[in-house]
Amino acid sequence: MNIFHIGTIALEADNTKRELKSIGGISGYIIELINYAKAQDHEISFVGKIYNYNSDSGIHYYQVQEKVSSTNKFLINLLFKSVNLKVPENSVIHAHRPDHLAAFLFFNNRPSVVTLHGQQALTVNIRKSYLIRKIYHHLEKYALKKANRIIAVDPVTEKFYEKLYPRYKHKMVTIPTGVNTEIFFPNDNIKSKTELGYNENNKLIIYVGRIEPPKKVKVIIEAFSHVLKEDSSFRLLLVGDGVSREEMERVSENLKVSKHVSFLGIRRRNELPQLYNAADVSILISGNEGSPLSVKESLACGTPVVANDVGDINTLVENNYNGFIVNSEDINEIAQKLITAANKKSEFKQNCINSIQPYTIPAVSKQVLNLYKEIVNE
């Protein structure tokens, strides 16, 4: 079977700086699916943009554009690329945004799957102009009509789209994202801290993700300022980049916590386990999520999580077991739970590891491959 993925990913490279728009959990999700499918001897093609691509990756690459651009320009280029790209029989198309699938399927009628990584229709309504909203919703409707299966990465997203498009309810299935436990596993906390240049007495809070909406990084920094008032040994590590980074740097300066906050920028995937292991607690406060990988990666490393109730987080994080679920509007509560979780890391560690077992890459990716086989046979 030939699997055509549609989207944008970034492969690991030592000497190439990744573009801002190429990072994030969706890229990791696609790469893990690709690696698992290749291990099962499936052929992989990719249509879109691969940063740091090399021919040894085992991926047939059809580049849509060379540099980062607006979504609209990417969709136009994707449409033109699909005109001359012939998808063989016994292939399945897997897109990771509905508008990407709509553009590609216009000239390629093959069995297809689209993964919904959160309530994108809601995000578009909040952030985009009237014209862009109208265009997006037409493309989304067309994609969901044409798709053979619709994967939601969390139950909240599935229910959201079932209500929005009840006629396509029969196509929808929830399959969460998976964590690679061969990469993300527990290691010594003190050793990881000292290797990164921190004092063993420092208590580290880590955020991994984009620094842009809908992530509420400002709330994280504000909560951290409250943490520091109670315990000056805490440090905040912000891993990632995005359009709001400079603004967040100003926020930390205005709150007079910048000396205790490290903006670490983009980190290669193989650097993340050490950072999670060095941390005493990780945090995610967001307006909209699907099945966030950063939460699973943190738990797999034995590091408790403080997060608000978005996406499938309430199926992963249990209060006073492997972390805490908090109200994203309550700065004081977030601060107190960060302190408590960090102080209980040793107590929570095994609970964190146990809670992630249903979400390993083989367990999750096998479900997706079985879905491919179903629709190709149909």
DSSP-assigned states of every residue in 171-207: GEEE----B-TTTS----HHHHHHHTT--TT-EEEEE
Which residue has tokens 């690991």? 12
Low-confidence ranges of the chain (pLDDT < 70): 14-24
Q: What percent of the chain stands above pLDDT 70?
A: 97
d(CA 362, CA 201): 37
At residue 15, the pLDDT reads 55
pLDDT at 165: 96
Per-residue pLDDT at 191:
96
Confidence at residue 124, expressed as pLDDT on a 0 to 100 scale: 82
Mean pLDDT of the chain: 93
Q: pTM of the predicted model, to two decimals?
A: 0.85
In terms of phi and psi (left: phi > 0; alpha: psi -120 to 50; beta: otherwise), the region of 311 is: left
Q: Quote the CA–CA distance of 49 and 33 in Å, as a whole number.
A: 17
What is residue 118's predicted lDDT score, i.e. its pLDDT?
A: 85
Q: What stretch(es) of the chain map to CATH 3.40.50.2000?
A: 2-178+360-377, 189-357
Tell which CATH classification among 3.40.50.300, 3.30.720.200, 3.40.50.2000, 3.80.30.20 matches the domain 2-178+360-377. 3.40.50.2000
How many CB atoms lie under 10 A from the CB of residue 253?
A: 12
Find how far residue 204's CA is from the centre of its chain: 22
Q: Which CATH class is domain 189-357?
A: alpha beta
> Residue-wise over 193-207: b if at least 16 C-beta within 10 A, else e?
beebebeeebbbbbb
Do residues 121 and 127 touch, judged by C-beta distance below 8 A? no
Among 36, 35, 37, 55, which residue's Cα sits nearest to residue 1?
Answer: 37
Q: Cα(288)–Cα(228) distance, rounded to whole angstroms?
A: 27
Distance, CA of 23 to CA of 208 (rounded, Å): 11
**Nearest alpha carbon to residue 86 among 108, 116, 60:** 108
- For 305, list phi and psi in degrees, rounded to 5: -125, 135
